[in-house]
Amino acid sequence: MPQQDRAHATREAILRAAAEEFDRLGYERTSLTAVLTRAGLTKGAFYFHFASKEAVAAALVERQDELWAEVRQAWRIRGVDPLSALHGMFLESADRMAADVVLRAGVRLNAEREIGYPGVPNTHMMWEKLIGTYLVEARERGHLLPGVDPEAVARTLCSAALGARLISSATTSCADFPDRLREVLRHVLPCVVPAGWKLSGSHNAPEEVIGP
């Protein structure tokens, strides 16, 4: 393996080992020693790539930021209606979280950082706003029942998604997060869309009827 590839592989091994510890224990309780043991690396190899435990955590947080931006962009390009895009993004996010410890750790670290330092911009408020824009657009297109408040639906969906992620994460390492999130959508969306409303080309649920 050329030296550059080897360096890249080592960096990835560190990120993955750190993610496995952070995902289980959170930032505070994760020790660098445990990460090194897991990765089978020396301190020297570690410090060649990262200045500190905090630096690895920052890289994981950044990676999940980038991934969510990509997921949003991919759904924008797909050009489906806003409610189908929202539904698809929720389920795709859950699938990715269940499958990817690096992503899970990034999400956990991001959330912990915010609880610890209230100055950091609040990701959940950002998600609520973002999801609210999809619902506002759905209302403008006549895809919501009259009287439904898009922001209130956004708050409910974000709360439920956050809670489902935490419970699922604590009990099954997010393995049942996709099922839990599917249940949430099934129990909220029929309250807000007209009868017989159909999802178009949603993630893992093409043409599903979600109306009451």
Residues in the site for a second copy, rule: CB under 8 A? 26, 28-29, 114-116, 118, 122, 124-125, 128, 152-153, 155-156, 158-164, 166-167, 170-171, 180, 183-184, 186-188, 190-192, 212
Cβ proximity to a second copy: between 32 and 188 the closer is: 188
Q: How far is the CB of 117 from a second copy (least distance, A)?
A: 10
Give the Å distances, CA to CA, from 167 to 161, 178, 192. Answer: 10, 12, 25
Contacts of residues 24-32 at CB distance under 8 Å and 24 or more positions apart, as own/partner, are 26/108, 26/109, 26/112, 27/53, 27/57, 27/109, 27/112, 27/113, 28/112
- Angle, CA of 46, 8 and 64, to the nearest 5°: 85
Round to whole Å and give the CA distance between 158 and 63.
21
Cβ proximity to a second copy: between 64 and 156 the closer is: 156
Q: How far is the CB of 119 from a second copy (least distance, A)?
A: 12
DSSP, collapsed to helix, strand or coil, labels residue 203 as coil
Q: How far is the CB of 171 from a second copy (least distance, A)?
A: 7
Cβ proximity to a second copy: between 103 and 184 the closer is: 184
Cβ proximity to a second copy: between 1 and 115 the closer is: 115
Q: How far is the CB of 40 from a second copy (least distance, A)?
A: 25
List 198's β-bridge partners, or say none: 209
